[in-house]
Copies of this chain bind each other. A is one copy, B any other.
Amino acid sequence: MKTSSLSTETIQSLRLLSNQMISKAGSGHPGIALGAAPILYELYANQLNVDPENPNMINRDRFVLSAGHGAALLYATLHAAGFDLSAQDLSEFRQPHSKTPGHPEVGVTPGVEATTGPLGQGLGMAVGMAMAEAKLNNQFPSVIDHFTFALVGDGDLMEGVSHEVASLAGQQKLGKLVVLYDDNDVSLDGLKQRSDISNNLARFASYGWDIREVADGNDLAAIHDAIENAKLSPEPTLIAVKTIIGDFGPFAGTNKAHGTPLDSQQLQDLSSALDVDIQNFELPNNLLEDMRAKISNRLLHQKQPLNDELTEYLQFSTKNTVTIPELPTDLKVQAGRKISKYVLQDFATQLPQLWGGSADLVASTNAEVVASPLFNADDRSGRNIAFGVREFGMGAVMNGIALHGGTKVFGATFLAFSDYMKAAIRLSALQHVPSIYVFTHDSITVGEDGPTHQPIEQLMGLRLIPGVDVLRPGTADEIASAWQQALTSTDRPTILILSRGEIGVQGNTDQAKQSLENGAAQIRHHDEAKINLIATGSEVQIAQKVSELLSLPSNVISMPNLSRFLALDDDKKQQIIPETGTKNVIIEAGTTLGWQGIAGNDGVIFGINEFGMSAAAQIALDEFGFNAEDIVDKITQELQ
């Protein structure tokens, strides 16, 4: 391939344009915009099968800018490519409610495939997209067949999640994943060697990746050839492109280039150095036409559009419905994770798009589609993903799978280890993707494995994240309803929190329906109740016992979704937790901070504000006062 003068001019213009955006905003990241412009140009001009007029075309190639601080360059390139992003939009870079926020945000900017900025996770989402493609390509080979590209920087590759997802991608042999590495030897605080001397190519080779190098990041033909070769490889490919951070600018090759906007004189000098001129964020028409023609010519050679049936299959997520299965009576009081396993099998039959896995804890979380094999390079029909001991990577990959569309994904581990993946859960919520997290072993009842494995603060901590449904069902019916809610969510992630041990309490389908709909519902009612016993998860059975033992009449309320309950209007709240003449008692085996609003000024909260202990479940419960007898005693004292 010969590099045309138009290509060069476009690349230099993208460099200048993105820097003009950054300078106008007064903040941003010039370094990557100047260094990586040829890579972005090559991707959009010569590689990506995308339709700027239909940015959600299901079979488009995906591109994730994992180095999200390169947003200005991405926006400039998307504009050049013809996405619905005007010169005016570019001029509003980093302004409130603009289409060009400081880091890429999916749903805000046409053509942006993922919300990036928190480093390393973009790579993980690209791996997830490539896995979704592999799965759908196996089912619909004639219509789903595309590549996934990502651009990563040194920061992405230093992050631990890069290890998790890259080693998974190698094991999965995701040949249609092509990752470009902006290899510039500089990170925010200085030369990369201050903190890192890794050989990233050798590292990725150790994962089973194909590796390639481009010695000069301005050599467009070399970038092109490397990508063309990468696309032929049966393994995922990492292409290290040696670039100069802040190339052509005043701070080229230094960390000062990373985040220092150019002043007007420096912008003018940059314009001279690049030999291009741009006014009012307007790229010359001939450049726009050239780039857009390249894209639309490729599009003509694209696969056939989908037929209606496939469209429906692949876009099920906007209208999926599932029916709650009947639960066998003997199942109803079993362990939360076991009830979950039972209903999951039924839901999986109803929803062929459902797949997922566990961070090497299938045997414990019971989160699997029993009738299906593992999803891997030899069998893309599998609906079980062996994520490996990679919680954070699992979360990032789940986000990528969900963003890709066409399937529904779950991922499981112990609740204590949700800590490892908090940053991915946050990105699920921020991106409004309906991933399903299954966290079992949800309290000190984990038992002998001890405090490292016993969640305490995680329950309330997860509830703090905006835009997530945290569900801790207290009956088998609530578990089934919680799964149903999770499966039908289209715009927010769900966290299902399940017990290792027995649920032990009989609910019913009506109560469960109410409970999920309103966040809480009475499971035992007394007309003359003086006490409201409010509990979640496997503590509902303790509340039931307390209610039986208390001398005063009481209601028992299961509250699987605290946040939803808090959002109810006062009338509705009072129907569920009557106020008059009553005292509220909370029972949840986790930190108490956060329950005060429900308890009210004179309520009582039974929780655990210290780390757990290595002991059998019942002993641990007793140690922390989590048994009906102790609670009854304390309530009785409190009332005296």
Q: Nearest CB to that of A197 among chain B residues?
A: B171
Chain A interface size, under 10 / 10 to 19 / 20 to 34 / 35 or more? 35 or more
Q: A94-B615, A103-B449, A105-B451 are in contact. Are A168 and B195 (CB under 8 A)?
A: yes
Q: Are A613 and B97 in contact (CB under 8 A)?
A: yes
Residue A95 lies at the interface, judged by CB distance under 8 Å to chain B: yes
Q: Are B429 and A423 in contact (CB under 8 A)?
A: no
Q: A159-B160, A358-B189 are in contact. Are A102 and B449 (CB under 8 A)?
A: yes
Q: From A156, A197, A376, A610, name the one whose CB has the most chain B CB atoms within 10 angstroms.
A: A197
Q: Are A450 and B155 in contact (CB under 8 A)?
A: no
Nearest Cβ in chain B — how far from A275, in angstroms?
A: 30
Q: Are A27 and B203 in contact (CB under 8 A)?
A: no
- Segment among A262-270, A307-315, A433-441, A459-467 that sits at the interface with chain B: A459-467
Q: A420-B423, A423-B420, A450-B103 are in contact. Are A96 and B167 (CB under 8 A)?
A: no
Return the contact of A430 from the options B97, B160, B451 (Cβ within 8 A). Answer: B451
Return the contact of A160 from the options B163, B196, B197 (Cβ within 8 A). Answer: B163
Q: Are A28 and B105 in contact (CB under 8 A)?
A: no
List residues of A (158-178) whose CB comes within 8 Å of B's CBs. Answer: 158-164, 167-168, 170-171
Residue A578 lies at the interface, judged by CB distance under 8 Å to chain B: no
List residues of A (417-475) whose CB comes within 8 Å of B's CBs. Answer: 417, 419-420, 422-423, 426-427, 429-430, 447-453, 456-457, 460-461, 463-467
Return the contact of A194 from the options B374, B593, B594 (Cβ within 8 A). Answer: B374
Chain B residues near A611: list those with CB within 8 A.
429-430, 466-467
Residue A254 lies at the interface, judged by CB distance under 8 Å to chain B: no
- Segment among A11-19, A133-141, A490-498, A596-604 that sits at the interface with chain B: A596-604
Question: Which residues of A approach B to under 8 Å, CB–CB?
Answer: 25-28, 68, 94-98, 101-103, 105, 115-120, 154-156, 158-164, 167-168, 170-171, 187-190, 193-200, 202-203, 205-208, 255, 259, 358, 360-364, 374, 376, 386-390, 392-393, 416-417, 419-420, 422-423, 426-427, 429-430, 447-453, 456-457, 460-461, 463-467, 563, 566, 591, 593-594, 596-597, 600-601, 609-611, 613-616, 619-620, 623
Q: What are some 23 contacts across the A-B interface (CB < 8 A)?
A: A28-B448, A95-B615, A96-B613, A96-B620, A102-B450, A103-B614, A105-B450, A158-B360, A159-B164, A160-B160, A160-B161, A162-B163, A167-B196, A171-B195, A187-B389, A197-B207, A202-B206, A259-B363, A426-B457, A427-B452, A430-B451, A456-B466, A457-B461
